[in-house]
Amino acid sequence: MNISIFGMGYVGAVSAACLARDGHNVIGVDVDPTKLELLRQGQSPIVEEGIQELTREVVEQGRLTVTDNADESIGGSTLSFVCVGTPSQPNGSQDLKAIEHVAAQIGAALAGHDHYHVVVIRSTVRPGTVMSRVRPVLEAHSGKKLGEGFGLAFQPEFLREGTSIRDYDNPPFTVVGGDCNRTLDCIKPLFEHLPCEFIGTDISTAEMLKYACNAFHAVKIVFANEIGRVSQTLGVDSREVMRLVTQDRQLNISPAYLRPGFAFGGSCLPKDLRALLYIAKEQDAEVPMLTGVIPSNQQQIDHALQFILRSEKRRVGMIGLSFKSGTDDLRESPLVTLAEQLIGKGIDLRIHDPNVQLSRLIGANRRYIEEKLPHIGRLLIDDCAELIRESDIVMVGLSDAHLVEQVIAEAGEAQVVLDLVGMPGRDRLKAAYRGICW
């Protein structure tokens, strides 16, 4: 394939060399004459393991050429990658001047060519940028419409400095957000030889993915360092602690818990986190990220509360009271906290939880309701269908399949379903739907 790459910085230079090595004809485009001259001589403008040898090889083979002329590059290619910088401005927002300038150049070049051209943004940008900022510029300067004269996509890059060529050849996945299947089909052949899955998605999801991954990496580093600081004050080997943490592939390093949903609760997580924070305080170890976990968890409860209060609907049915499905454990359940706040705001609340029914409860849980939550106990309803029928808002706090199906079957058009668990089959709902954070 004939490919243009706009921006011969770190990502652009590595991508150009690797794509050319894989047999494609690559045109590198940049405004910096020094970079262009280095590349013409077979020298990469960046410092990276193996990049000089690879660049020299593909330039000598004629697979990689360079220019400062956008029209020349677009005329000689069917696909363009945009790899220019999007630096931070003083307030933290992105400076998009470079990416908009390149989009204008590409658009003007497209105006003079008849072939369908795919533009792939690789620069990290705020979700919505490709469609709201790049697309209008391309359309205005080309006189063509998206999907007719050109395709548009976003592909997040995950190249680490120092190991970028190895990362390019062994990615965990290849994710591309495209405007349509035609665009994705044009991009897929470039990467389908890699030992990973090619995943096509929408553009905004792909844009947000890059931020989510980088934020998660930052959180992991800070988490390990905060555990390290606390461990050090106790004379514990934090490296060994974290080595063992990462041995757990079922819960620790896995999809477990990494799904947007409601707040955490139960008998372990809140209690143990508070204990760890107390230890840190005792030992004068500063752990600001861990300290922020419980307030952030409370924000998820507040988020649900504010949605209900803003709706101005007064009759709310809550499906679920225990801290998760399959248990009657009410200890530190976020649903209990939310129920108490709703009651305090004067909401007409009814609750159904098949595992929390006064007629069936025994032992500690029965005493807990009778002594600590008698006002909530009086709101429990055994019949889920009755609760749904009598509610303006049906809040789904349990993921049990039979409860979800009952909500889908019973909730009507005049009602709103507030989903805290990610219920399957929601496309079959007659009621209005709202996810807690999706």
Average pLDDT over residues 150-172: 93
- Average pLDDT over all residues of the chain: 94
Q: Where is average pLDDT lowest: 156-165, 203-212, 358-367? A: 358-367
The pLDDT score that the predictor gives to residue 267 is 83
Task: Kindly state whether residues 306 and 420 are assigned to the same domain.
Answer: yes
Q: At residue 364, does pLDDT exceed 80?
A: no
Does the annotation list 264 as a binding residue? no
User: 395, 307 in Cβ contact below 8 A?
Assistant: no
Q: Domain check: are 308 and 175 in the same one?
A: no
Is 124 among the annotated ligand-binding positions? yes
Same domain, 182 and 307: no
pLDDT at 2: 97
268 is catalytic: yes
Q: How confident is the model at residue 375 (pLDDT cuts 50, 70, 90)?
A: confident
pLDDT at 193: 94
Q: Is 350 annotated as a binding residue?
A: no
- Consult the annotation and say whether 110 binds a ligand: no
Ligand-binding annotation for 97, yes or no, is no
Give me the pLDDT at residue 355, please: 85
Confidence at 403, pLDDT banded by 50, 70, 90: very high
Q: pLDDT band at 358, cuts 50/70/90?
A: low
Residue whose tokens read 């706040």? 341
Answer with the one of 184, 201, 218 that is the final residue of a domain: 201
Please report whether residue 220 resides in a domain.
no
The answer to the question of whether 271 is labelled as a binding residue is: yes
92 annotated to bind ligand: no
Tally of domains in the chain? 2
CA gap 393, 395 in Å, rounded = 6
The Cα–Cα gap between 76 and 283 comes to 65
Which residue, 152, 174, 201, sits at the end of a domain?
Answer: 201
In a domain, 423, yes or no: yes
- Per mean pLDDT, which range of 68-82, 99-113, 335-349, 363-377 is the poorest? 363-377
Same domain, yes or no, for 63 and 177?
Answer: yes
Pick from 37, 106, 108: nearest CA to 67: 37
Query: Is 151 annotated among the ligand-binding residues?
Result: no
Q: What is the pTM of this model?
A: 0.87
Q: Give residue 92's domain range.
A: 2-201
pLDDT band at 162 (very low <50, low <70, confident <90, very high): confident
Work out the average pLDDT over 2-9: 96
Specify if 359 maps to a domain: yes
pLDDT band at 362 (very low <50, low <70, confident <90, very high): low
| 194 and 311 within one domain | no
Kindly tell me the burial class for residue 415, based on how many C-beta atoms sit within 10 Å of its own C-beta (0-12, 13-18, 19 or more).
buried
**Which burial class, exposed, middle or buried, applies to 283 when counting CB atoms under 10 A from its CB (0-12, 13-18, 19+)?**
middle
Domain boundary among 179, 201, 223: 201
Determine which of 54-68, 139-153, 317-331, 351-365 has the lowest per-residue pLDDT on average.
351-365
Per-residue pLDDT for 377 more than 90? Answer: no
User: Is residue 173, in this structure, part of any structural domain at all?
Assistant: yes
- Tell me if 158 is assigned to a ligand binding site: yes
Q: What percent of the chain has pLDDT over 90?
A: 87
Asked if residue 274 belongs to a domain, the reply is no
- 261 assigned binding-site residue: yes
Quote the pLDDT of residue 360: 58
Asked, for residue 340, whether it belongs to a domain, the answer is: yes
CATH code for position 141:
3.40.50.720
Same domain membership, residue 191 and residue 334: no
Asked, for residue 254, whether it belongs to a domain, the answer is: no
Residues 190 and 333 in one domain: no
Angstrom distance (rounded) from CA 128 to CA 135: 10
Instruction: Look at residue 274 and tell me whether its pLDDT is greater than 80.
Output: yes
What's the average model confidence in pLDDT over 257-274? 93
Q: Given the residues 180, 196, 268, 437, select the one marked as catalytic.
A: 268
First to last CA, the chain: 38
pLDDT score recorded for residue 329: 81
